[in-house]
Amino acid sequence: MGEIDRGEQAKKVIAGLKQVYPNATCALHFETPLDLVVATILSAQCTDERVNIVTDDLFKKYRKAEDYALAPPGILEEEIHSTGFFRQKSMAIRGMGQKLVEKFGGEVPKTMEEMTQLPGVARKTANVVLGTAYGIPSGIVVDTHVRRLSYRLGLSDETDPDKIERDLMEVVPKEEWIWFGHAMIWHGRDTCIARGPKCSACVLQEFCPKRGVPRIGDPGRGRTVGTRARRRAERG
């Protein structure tokens, strides 16, 4: 990838993020692994703050996989309505509950292979749950923030989340995988914002190539100039 040594770059990014987010973890509230599966499904296209408001009541009512499996669709849809895409999410949560009861004795499994058999659960959700609820470093969470930052920082040229994750797993030590995904997400929320990154206040600015970020004084400022892949990554 160009002149960037991704291994060296990853070391610098990790050191920089450690200064700001030494204990970064998931912002979703949960008590059990099951709670976290549900919260992560609800967090698609929704802020964590909104999800936490909704799950505050939801988790008091739904305690076991069976509770979700038997939930009347209309009622669950109403309860999660404000997180958006409530029909698909309700279907996924009920299906997930049913699968847990039928195949996994009502328990959230502890492997990527089993987790991704659950409706509504792809690698991202599985990584969040396995890493945060069980402490198992199954991979690196790649959400919209991690995708955007990985490109800007020169850690991956890819746009597909699974390929970005593979690139990151090559250069981030395994003992940092769980922390790294969350630290990148926090940095994306606080500083490396999609439409207006605060580069001058960023702890990574000295070595960040700022790929796809418009430079102050550019004639094209305000418009990201670049390849199609870059624009896709930028949209994050």
* Binding positions for ligand SF4, rule: CB under 6 A: 152-153, 191-192, 197-199, 202, 204-205, 208, 210, 213
**Which residue, 68 or 151, has its beta carbon nearer to ligand SF4?**
151
| Whole-angstrom distance, CA of residue 7 vs CA of residue 34 | 35
Least separation, in Å, of the C-beta of 167 and ligand SF4? 16
The contacts of residue 222 (CB under 8 Å, 6+ apart) are: 214
**Which residue, 96 or 204, has its beta carbon nearer to ligand SF4?**
204
**Where does the chain have alpha helices with state H?**
6-20, 33-42, 48-61, 65-69, 73-80, 86-104, 112-115, 123-134, 144-152, 161-171, 177-190, 228-235
**Which residue, 103 or 198, has its beta carbon nearer to ligand SF4?**
198
| Whole-angstrom distance, CA of residue 73 vs CA of residue 91 | 7
Please provide the size of the chain in residues.
Answer: 236
| Whole-angstrom distance, CA of residue 54 vs CA of residue 79 | 7
Least separation, in Å, of the C-beta of 150 and ligand SF4? 10
Least separation, in Å, of the C-beta of 202 and ligand SF4? 3
Least separation, in Å, of the C-beta of 188 and ligand SF4? 8
Q: Which residues form the catalytic set?
A: 124, 143
**Which residue, 6 or 94, has its beta carbon nearer to ligand SF4?**
6
